[in-house]
Amino acid sequence: MASRIYEWLDSRLKLKPVKETLLDEPIPGGASWIYVFGSATLFLFSLQAITGMFLAVYYAPTPDHAYDSIRYIETQVLFGAFVRGLHHWGASAMVVAIGLHMLQVFLYGAYKPPREAMWIVGVLLLLLTMGFAFTGYLLPWDQNAYWATQVGINMVGSVPFVGTFLVKVMRGGDMLGVLTLSRFFAVHVLFLPAGIMVLVALHMFILRRVGPAGPWAGAFERRGKRGDPSMRQAAPEEGSPPGERRAHRSEPFYPRQVFMDAVVMLGVFAVVATLALTIAFPLTDKANPSDHSFIPVPEWYFLFYYQFLKYMEGPILGPIATWVIPALFIGLLLALPFLDPSKDRAPSSRRAVLGLGAFFLAGVFALVGLSLHDLQAMKRTDPAVASGNALYERFGCAGCHRIHGTGGAVGPDLSYVGDNRDRDWLIRHFRDPQSTSPGSIMPKFNLDEQQLSDLTVYMLSLKKRA
Amino acid sequence: MRGDAMEKSGDQAPDGARRSFFAWLIMASAGLIGISLAVPLGGYVVSPALKRREKSWVDAGPVADLPLGEPTQRDLVMTLADGYREIAAAKGIWALRRETNEVTVYSPICTHLGCGYRWDGAEKKFKCPCHGSMFDIEGKVVGGPAPRPLDRLPVKIENGRLMVKYEEFKSGTKEQVEI
């Protein structure tokens, strides 16, 4: 049936050359699992596009309704939490896929001539992806979204001369509010998707015109078994760079590379779907512009930079970190093919560049590690927990109770009290300890309703796993 | 697509069986992703359509204030869940108190095409201004294009107060179909 439909279409649309163009692109050195990251990125982008369209079915981009509409998706819509989870974890997975894709291109020297344009378009795609991450983060309009975006926008303000102006343009005025949300929404769902589709098309166009780089010279012989019938001898291409102008084995894109790409896509989808099903991504409280005590934490992929900013304070180091270094880094990425133009792609002759890359990666991972360490030490607390904690100090509860090794041993250890007691029990207990624990020597503290509630929230926050 | 179909079109593969095996695996992966997405996304879009409106009894004021034998409009003020928002809605129902102190409440929507009708005290008829449908005091059609009598709403009297459950029905049909 399918083949008859194909034949019917083919006799009219002349599909054969199209099919050959799509499927028979030669892969120098043969298909390999190392080439899957570009396809994985494209797959994840498609997943983001699809889930994003569906989220837009319910989402309302105004401060009055944004938070409630997301909460509606989370709690009322069938599979709503799953769809939002796919979009959330899909974004993280896309960052991972892009990182691995860039790493592979970097290691293989695939940015070198004649593929400079493909690399530059790739860097622009990376910037657009970061634009997606930044604009998408504000949309749920919860505390974290609001304050993280506030920080992000303020960083732009450190750019000399035009910083203040840029900040106003991004916000659409003097404050982060209704105009900011609608322009972030428009950029996230209309402008950036249009831009990224054009650049993805350009990226693929260049790939098909220049061809994939394949393994570096000298590595060809090791790839692919001799006599493998799916491999064919490729004639040296006219116009291919001297380093590559040698006969090497190549294999058409279809079926083995397509198969590898498909398997990886399925695997990536399985991972993202599992994360979406198992790890909830709850909203924090609705954005409250007057609550300056909230400490936002960025997504994990910005943590290295977040940590870096902590070390770069002051009137000189600050702006260096907030715009000089990012600008230099983007400039360096864009200029990489011209700074390292030799056509030799073998790692052995590129030690300096690879060393620089390794140094950068080591730095990033070290900063992520430090940041995670700091975050664990400084638990993010909501104001109620903080004020409950303050009450615990003020009333000298630590005289009898112990939390994580600090305090007396007269009363029960409270390190994980949140796992054992519920809200009602705790409130009754604080009102009258003997009512819930007959024979307890705990005195009755005269707490008002607010204090009761805060102390209870603090107790409930003491859990083995937050 | 079946394996043999792929084999026929796979004119380049030196070994047809392996090639069609790959084709089958590629299709299976794509199909698995497609189905795992299509089912939740379908449910996601459709789910609010399947939800029934929650109905509750709404206070329509004291029964004693209703004149005997004369239909009177009362505002039913209620909170409706409109997706993720709650909206206050006022529906002007028509209430008729009888000698027996029983109360009949009519939905304020004409059964023809959904306009709001009025009680004409002089002619003792409900008249719809849109297309001229007319109903008598019992809601029976006495003129115009209306296909069925006025819709009655569930009523109860609690502590002397009129309680009404607001419902909406499809207009233009002979049978009463709740929406």
C-alpha A381, offset from chain centre: 23
Residues of A in contact with B26 (CB under 8 A): 255, 258-259, 262
My answer on whether B82 and B144 are in the same domain is yes
Q: Retrieve residue A33's tokens.
A: 């699992």
My answer on whether B124 and B145 are in the same domain is yes
Across the interface, of B5, B22, B47, the residue whose CB is closest to A78 is B47
**What sections of chain B are H helices per DSSP?**
3-9, 16-50
Measured in degrees and rounded to the nearest 5, phi and psi for residue B119 equal -95, 125
Number of domains in chain B: 2
Contact A269 B36 (CB under 8 A): yes
Contact B29 A71 (CB under 8 A): no
Chain A nearest-CA distance from B29, in A, is 6
In CATH, the number for domain A383-461 is: 1.10.760.10
| Residues A264-277 as b or e (16 or more Cβ within 10 Å = b) | bbbebbeebbebbe
Q: Retrieve residue B66's tokens.
A: 């209703």
> What's the pLDDT band for A230 if we cut at 50, 70, 90?
very low
Q: Of A59-68, A176-185, A435-444, B137-146, which gets the smallest average pLDDT? A: A435-444
Q: Which residues make Cβ contacts (< 8 Å) with residue A466, sequence separation at least 6?
A: A379
CA distances (Å), B136 to each of B69, B146, B148, in order? 12, 12, 12
Residues of B in contact with A255 (CB under 8 A): 10, 13, 19, 22-23, 26
Contact B84 A58 (CB under 8 A): yes
Q: Domain for residue B117, yes or no?
A: yes
Residue B11 has pLDDT above 80, yes or no: no
pLDDT at A223: 43
My answer on whether B82 and B143 are in the same domain is yes
pLDDT digits (tens, 9 = 90+) for B53-91: 777 888 888 888 888 888 988 888 888 888 898 888 888
Contact A2 B2 (CB under 8 A): yes
My answer on whether B98 and B160 are in the same domain is yes
Q: Of A82-96, A400-414, B24-38, which gets the smallest average pLDDT? A: A400-414
What average pLDDT does chain B have?
Answer: 85
Residues of B in contact with A54 (CB under 8 A): 41, 44-45
My answer on whether B75 and B161 are in the same domain is yes
- Chain B's closest residue to A267, CA to CA, is B29
C-alpha B133, offset from chain centre: 22
CATH T-level topology, domain A27-234+243-292: Cytochrome Bc1 Complex; Chain C (1.20.810)
Contact B13 A262 (CB under 8 A): no
- Count of H helices and E strands in chain B? 2, 10
What's the CA gap between A330 and A320, in Å, rounded?
14
Contact A255 B37 (CB under 8 A): no
Q: Domain for residue B161, yes or no?
A: yes
Q: Residue A434 is which amino acid? A: Q
Measured in degrees and rounded to the nearest 5, phi and psi for residue A12 equal -100, -45
Q: Domain for residue B177, yes or no?
A: no
Unique residue bearing structure tokens 């896509």? A265
What's the CA gap between A113 and A119, in Å, rounded?
10
Domain ranges, ordered by start, for chain A: 27-234+243-292, 383-461
Contact A69 B84 (CB under 8 A): yes
Q: Residue B117 is which amino acid? A: Y
pLDDT at A91: 97
Residue A314 vs residue A378, higher pLDDT? A314
Can you tell me the ipTM of this complex?
Answer: 0.73
What's the CA gap between A23 and B9, in Å, rounded?
12
What's the CA gap between A193 and A132, in Å, rounded?
9
Whether the CB-CB separation of B132 and B145 falls below 8 Å is answered with yes
My answer on whether B109 and B34 are in the same domain is no
> What's the pLDDT band for B12 if we cut at 50, 70, 90?
very low
**Could you tell me which residues are beta bridge partners of residue B88?**
B79
My answer on whether B39 and B114 are in the same domain is no
SS3 A314: coil
Whether the CB-CB separation of B152 and B107 falls below 8 Å is answered with yes
Contact A259 B25 (CB under 8 A): yes
Calculate Rg over the CA atoms of chain B: 29
Q: Retrieve residue B11's tokens.
A: 């004119």
My answer on whether B61 and B115 are in the same domain is yes
Transcribe A278-304 into DSSP letters. Answer: HS-----SBP-TT-TT------GGGHH
* Optimal mutation site among A76, A260, A277, interface B, most CBs of chain B within 10 A: A76
My answer on whether B28 and B79 are in the same domain is no
* Optimal mutation site among A64, A254, A271, A275, interface B, most CBs of chain B within 10 A: A254
Contact B33 A259 (CB under 8 A): no
My answer on whether B73 and B147 are in the same domain is yes
Q: Which residues make Cβ contacts (< 8 Å) with residue A331, sequence separation at least 6?
A: none
DSSP state of A429: H
pLDDT digits (tens, 9 = 90+) for A113-156: 999 999 999 999 999 999 999 999 999 999 899 999 998 998 88
Contact B40 A255 (CB under 8 A): no
My answer on whether B43 and B66 are in the same domain is no
Residue B2 has pLDDT above 80, yes or no: no
pLDDT digits (tens, 9 = 90+) for B23-52: 999 999 999 999 999 999 999 999 988 887
With 0-12 / 13-18 / 19 or more C-beta atoms within 10 angstroms meaning exposed / middle / buried, residue A190 is exposed
pLDDT at B178: 85
My answer on whether B83 and B128 are in the same domain is yes
- Chain B's closest residue to A59, CA to CA, is B84
Residues of B in contact with A2 (CB under 8 A): 1-2, 5
Q: Give which of A127, A145, A10 is closest to A88, Cα–Cα.
A: A145
Chain A nearest-CA distance from B79, in A, is 17
Q: Indicate yes or no: pTM above 0.80.
A: no
SS3 B130: coil
What's the CA gap between A285 and A143, in Å, rounded?
6
pLDDT at A220: 46
* Optimal mutation site among B6, B11, B20, B41, interface A, most CBs of chain A within 10 A: B41
Residue A238 has pLDDT above 60, yes or no: no
Q: Domain for residue B27, yes or no?
A: yes
pLDDT at B100: 86
CA distances (Å), A55 to each of A37, A71, A81, in order? 26, 12, 10
pLDDT digits (tens, 9 = 90+) for A159-210: 889 999 999 999 999 999 999 999 999 999 999 999 999 999 999 999 999 9
Any CB–CB contact under 8 A between A313 and chain B?
no
Q: Domain for residue B67, yes or no?
A: yes
What's the CA gap between A270 and A268, in Å, rounded?
5
Q: Which helix (H) or strand (E) holds A234?
A: strand A232-234
Q: Residue A441 is which amino acid? A: I
CA distances (Å), A349 to each of A109, A110, A116, A214, in order? 11, 14, 19, 17
CATH number of the domain residue B66 falls in: 2.102.10.10
Q: Retrieve residue A74's tokens.
A: 């989370």
Q: Domain for residue B172, yes or no?
A: no
Chain B nearest-CA distance from A65, in A, is 8
Residues of B in contact with A40 (CB under 8 A): none
SS3 B140: coil
Chain A nearest-CA distance from B15, in A, is 8
* Full residue range of the structural domain in which residue B82 is found: 57-165
Contact A79 B47 (CB under 8 A): yes
**Could you tell me which residues are beta bridge partners of residue B90?**
B77
Residues of A in contact with B30 (CB under 8 A): 262
Contact A6 B2 (CB under 8 A): no
